[in-house]
Amino acid sequence: MGLQAAEALGVPAGEVLKTLMVLVDGKPACVVLASDREVGMKKLAAALGARACEMMKPADAERITGYRVGGVSPFGQKRAVRTVVDADAAALPVAFVNAGQRGLQARLAPADIIRVLGAVVAAII
């Protein structure tokens, strides 16, 4: 979805951030990174002082966040979860992030995502 959004917006894929839902030692967490990157689960676990991380099943992600997969935003989820923003994404002056439905993007500074969500910044790629 993020690569398609980048193409539609006419911006590099690295400036469109995707939101992934993961399980960190069995507990839900949110990960924000560039749409053209893959999260390293071992690096994510290390950054959070956890033993194991894995992708959340799509149905569980929808139930926990209240959003449909492909439209998950790090903001406004049903309940607050720990959020991690990749260090490369955090360094961008501005980026696009999903605004709660497929095809809806908000342009803002990753520093604002970090501040509002109290996110951890870590090299997780």
Q: What is the average pLDDT across 69-93? A: 96
Q: Report the predicted TM-score, pTM, of the whole model to 2 decimal places.
A: 0.95
What are the CA-CA distances from residue 125 to residues 8, 9, 15, 38, 55 (Å)? 25, 24, 15, 6, 14
Phi, psi (5° rounding) for residue 67? -110, 155
How much is the pLDDT for 103?
87
Domain 2-122 has CATH 3.10.450.50: no
| pLDDT for 8 | 85
Here the tokens at position 30 are 């949110």
Instruction: Give residue 4's pLDDT.
Output: 83
pLDDT tens-place string over residues 51-61: 999 999 999 99
Domain map (residue ranges) of the chain: 2-122
Indicate the pLDDT class of residue 39, thresholds 50, 70 and 90. very high
The β-bridge partners of 27 are: 24
pLDDT number for residue 26: 97
Average pLDDT of span 7-22: 93
The neighbouring-strand residues paired with 20 are 31
Question: Largest Cα–Cα distance in the chain?
Answer: 39
Letter for the amino acid at 24? V
Contact 29, 12 (CB under 8 A): no
Q: Using 50, 70 and 90 to split pLDDT, how confident is the model at 31?
A: very high
Quote the Cα angle for 77-78-81, to 5°: 65
When pLDDT is averaged across residues 29-44 and rounded to a whole number, the result is 97
Structure tokens at 8: 């539609």
16-24 vs 27-34, strand pairing mode: antiparallel
Q: What is the pLDDT of residue 100?
A: 92
